[in-house]
Chains A and B, each alone.
Chain A
Amino acid sequence: MVVEKSRSEKEKEEKSSKRRSRSTSSNDSSSSDSSSSSSSSSSSSSSSSTSSSSSGGDRRKRRERGSRSKSRSVRKGGESKDRKEKSRERGRQSPGRRTRSRSTSVRRKRYERSPTPKPTRIHIGRLTRNVTKDHVLEIFSNYGEIKSIDFPTDRYHPQNGRGFCYVEYLNADDAENAMKHMDGGQIDGTEVAVAPVNNPKPMQMMRRSPMRRGGMPPNRNNNRWRGGGRDMQNRRRSPIRRSPRRRVSRSPIRRRHSNSSSSSR
């Protein structure tokens, strides 16, 4: 039984891969511009939002365009307009998953929500007792190179598995491929369930919690803190980092009016 991905996601993927390739090529020519473009990133994004966005109230759309602004500001105007239109379409479908530009890692000042990273780790459930780690390795290596497999075993019968396991691929596309093919598929006579798992964030995010001081839980516990929990952690734990961003992110409304005429392009 093959799970069909939604068409919108497929379109997004194609477009995101195209965008990524373009950004890498243009970055070579624009290394000198990187500093200037960061300062103008806000202005260019605001200008783009005026020109292309009809609804001023949709912060999420604007936010994503802004986060891509760094790579976009480097390119020529014509190209960026094309992409704005495409991004507008995409924004309507599913705003949360578009932006993947890696060049804005440091400079993403205004938008507090980093894009959801594509998962490389998947959870496989409803495995039978006959299925071993080697079986899982054999079956799931069909979809891509596996980085690691976490196969917890039953406490009382160590030769049996617990019925689920985690497989991590080297890249997210393989993980998605595996999910597409194996979710609802059959192993040893039963239907298995394959689902993505958000990668655990590094430990430092838990640092400030008084409860966990002195005993950092191992990586595996972080698996239980799914995406929602992770974002909430960020908002609670590192206000010093986060709130200025929020404040800045509200400013586009004001800046748009002030800078609309001063587009660098």
Chain B
Amino acid sequence: MKDCFARPIASAPDAWFDMVERDWNDGEKVIDRTTKRRRCLNLGSYNYLGFGSFDEYCTPRVIESLKKFSASTCSSRVDAGTTSVHVELEECVAKYVGKHSAIVFGMGYATNSFIIPVLIGKGGLIISDSLNHSSIINGARGSGANIRIFQHNKPSHLERILREIAERQTKTHKPWKKIIVIVEGIYSMEGEICKLPEIVSICKKYKAYVYLDEAHSIGAIGNTGRGVCELLGVNTADVDIMMGTFSKSFASCGGYIAGSKELIQYLKHHCPGHLYATSISTPSAQQIISAIRVILGEDGSNRGAQKLARIRENSNYFRSELRNMGFKVLGDVDSPVMPIMLYHPAKIPAFSRECLRENVISKVGDLTGIKYFPAAPKKQEAEKDTIKLV
């Protein structure tokens, strides 16, 4: 089954790309690359808005910033790694997301791992959704706080757990220092959208802080692409910490945290990712700024609005067509992530190879599924399509 994963491509991750064909004698460890290329329809990259290849507005500006600032600053943000582009990027992201300030890191995974230990430590409680991403789990473990899991997307279970604040007080006479509830905008494995209004109202009632990870939802859902808050009508002031990544819709790299002015100032002073890690590459930062401008229509065209409308139409059309064909497709309406259930582990490589024969690329299984295989044979294997702009 090794040939179904880590397939290299030889062009940009656009709607159609060139996949490198590989020679593999069944059973051997090494897969050799050949020089043959195959043009395939791409349903497997996270290129939601189609910025993942040469773009007429973004790429020239990126190349310009590359020539001016070079590929890297070789320095952390506090030393000599802050350029005017970084400052502009943080202002742009904060405005786009609807918060006062933002801080940007060079890697989305690392953002969660760095920030959570700074915000909460021993004596605190983290309540996270059962299907949260590995970066959140890593960050939560690294913080030293107590962790509780609530059932996926069930606000009632969350409320039950929050009422345990009282129980803890009577038992040990030491109340929790603070409680942070971590949820995601779109869950990448199920394609479901989080029930944010209910969760925010519960957290307000019990005085817990809300941490929203919008890795997949920023730029992909909502009328202007502002994510799950816009889609579900939640006031961004109610969400204390908003996190997101740039590697999906904006086709760049890195992650951000947006919040109040004091929060970001505190993080800039204490977060080890800001103090020790190399700053985000300047051309990547420029790509994000340009992509946000296109989405908001500030480049003078309405390409952004067109892209957003098209991804919504494509997602809904594809989902309904697949359901009509008889496939079992998970995920909510408007969500660009579509898992198609195969249910049988042995069908995964067969499905993947058959798709390839038809020159269609999609993701099969999920890498965490490889770990689940022997442990939980009941886990349903999913074939996941992610829709991009065609």
Chains A and B form a bound pair: no
Residue numbers of A with Cβ under 8 A of B are none
